[in-house]
Amino acid sequence: MTEAFSGEQHTRVHADRSPGFLERLSASTGGVIAGICLFALSFYVLFTNEGRALRTASALDEGLKQVVSLHPDVMLDPQNDGRLVHLSGPLRTAQPLYDPNYSVTVQAVKLQRQVEMYQWVEYSESRDYEENGEKKTETTYTYNTEWKSEVISSRHFDQEVGHMNPSAMAVESVMVVAPDVWVGKLFLSKGLVEQINDFHTLSLQGLPVPVMNTFLTVHDDYFYHTANPRRPEVGDVRIRFAYAGLSGDGFYPGPAHKVSVVAMQQGDQLKPFRTRSGDVLEILYMGDLSAEEVFTREHQLNNMKTWALRLGGWVLMFLGVSLSTRIIYTLVDWVPVLRELVSAGLKIFALCVSCSLSLLTIAAGWIFYRPLLESECGEFKGVRTEALNTDINSQH
């Protein structure tokens, strides 16, 4: 093993003997097992994804037909209990969120204290080559100082001397959430509050600096635990505050954010609404949206998720086929010309097989799940029709 240093960068060269045929064959056998597992997993992902997509689309169509739009200033109607409702209006909370350590106050649903520490970061870049019949790996390590939100352990550095980081941060990151959040006359459920994640950096311009120590300064919307923010040292800490869902009428940092909610009304609470297909509707979007716009966005999100899982399933199948056929390449890798031809052929084979089988699996899943959903809808319609006829006969 050789080593070369150059400032905050050094290189190591590690030599290994080239693996024998039996060792390569053993490694390829392990790849075959992993490939078969990925191949089977791809069928599951592609097939069940079609059922998930159809169930979600059916649930959204059902919700749009049943949803009742409410005005935020109108008194609650007991007749809407258990029904799916749509509501748009400004967020409201009982009291401001407060961080006593830095005297930061904001009327919002969430207040986040984000802590970063100035630390050493190790980067490595490797290249493999053969020399004198030996397989060698040359790795170049580079060290930089950067602000990081997580503690980086320097014990795993290739060169820890001169690049040591503290084992913990002096200040912890904290998320504070308002206990009660409501829109109009209805309180949001925990699931709806969790969807309020549109964080904005809290501007510190004009805010007083808390008297904690002489090394606390404010610069570019950060609290710095250092006397000179422009020239930090390893171990220095800086804090940034972010808020989500403004809920006050004050001028700082702005007016209350408007949200659009679709959920089930239960008393003065908004709860999850379970559809016939088993999906749960509990939707929140930032902004003033109509019920139709909310469901349109949910359909778009469902389509994006469907195509993403289809792509993910195809990648799993391609990797599965590639790993499963890798053993063929190992059997001929000692012949240079034949090795390249077999490698190209196996890649083309994996591409063709994964594309064709993925399309067949997607089609089979779509055909399999659609009649089930249609039969469920038919049964529901039959029950509704029978109940309606009974109600009419009783009136006569």
Euclidean distance between CA atoms 189 and 154, whole angstroms: 43
pLDDT band with cut points at 50, 70 and 90 for residue 29: confident
* pLDDT of 74: 80
Tokens in use for 303?
């389509």
Residue 176: CB atoms within 10 Å: 15
Q: Span 32-49, mean pLDDT? A: 93
pLDDT band with cut points at 50, 70 and 90 for residue 346: confident
Convert the pLDDT of each residue in 146-195 to its tens digit.
Answer: 999 999 999 989 888 889 999 999 899 999 999 999 999 999 999 999 99
Virtual torsion, Cα 19, 21, 23, 25, nearest 10 deg: 140
Euclidean distance between CA atoms 150 and 45, whole angstroms: 33
Euclidean distance between CA atoms 374 and 260, whole angstroms: 30
Task: Report whether 160 contacts 39 (CB < 8 A).
Answer: no
Q: How many helices (H) and strands (E) does the chain have?
A: 5, 20
CB-hemisphere CA count at 13 Å for 310? Answer: 21
Q: Span 98-111, mean pLDDT? A: 91
Convert the pLDDT of each residue in 316-329 to its tens digit.
Answer: 999 999 888 887 77
Residue carrying structure tokens 């039996």: 22
Question: Greater confidence, 44 or 77?
Answer: 44
Euclidean distance between CA atoms 234 and 123, whole angstroms: 17
Q: Span 376-385, mean pLDDT? A: 45
DSSP secondary structure of 64-79: HHH-EEE-TTSPP-GG
Domain boundaries, the chain: 21-67+290-396, 77-267
What pTM does this model have? Answer: 0.79
Convert the pLDDT of each residue in 225-245 to its tens digit.
Answer: 987 888 999 999 999 999 999
Residue from 260, 262, 263 nearest 272 by CA: 263
pLDDT at residue 30 tops 70 = yes
Q: Span 23-37, mean pLDDT? A: 74
pLDDT at residue 9 tops 70 = yes
* pLDDT of 372: 58
pLDDT band with cut points at 50, 70 and 90 for residue 381: very low
Cross-strand pairs, 16: 135
